[in-house]
Amino acid sequence: MIKRTGYTVEEATKKLEHYCAYQDRCHKEVVAKLKSMGMIPIAIDTIVGHLITNRFLNEERFAKNYARGKFQIKKWGKNRIVRELKAREISRFNIQTALKEISDSDYFETFDDLAKKKADQITESNPLKARKKLIDYLLYRGWEAAMVYEKAAALYPF
């Protein structure tokens, strides 16, 4: 069997409709997929236009779902979510809209639970090293530095 590398615009459009219907995608992911399929720039623009028109591709919806999902499932803080959305070239307006999906009460409650859970898992006997491990973990997860340092001081007082 011979493997085909080229796609017609219609074939690529159908393939990308399924790609976007399966999971919300951002424009950058769709364009990268089309380039990997060997599509030329004018075909890419045509297909992306079709996907937007037919609501397969919606950057605001993607940003909202992404922010909600990463916060609820991976327990990421706003800094990490913003960083990841910027890497996907999402507009500042859509990033701000997406962050509104996370309520303040849920945000602080999740931060509290995550910090306590991680502090319980740290087996380091030296309180300074234990505090540093907690701080590094929370900062990597994208939580705000002021919150992290305050919580670390409360959990590991001297």
**How is residue 39 written in tokens?**
């599509």
Read off the pLDDT band of 157 (50, 70, 90).
Answer: confident
Rg of the chain on CA atoms, in Å: 21
pLDDT greater than 80 at residue 3: no
User: What per-residue confidence (pLDDT) applies to 5?
Assistant: 62
What pLDDT is attached to residue 32? 96
- pLDDT, residue 4, reads 53
Question: What is the distance between the alpha carbons of residues 1 and 98, in angstroms, rounded to a whole number?
Answer: 46
In order of 12, 28, 41, 64, the CA distances from 36 in angstroms are 11, 12, 12, 27
* pLDDT tens, position by position, 119-145: 999 999 999 999 999 999 999 999 999
Tokens 């809209």 belong to: 97
**Mean pLDDT of all residues belonging to the chain:** 94
Question: 78-92, pLDDT tens digit by residue?
Answer: 999 999 999 999 999
Q: Amino acid identity of 15?
A: K
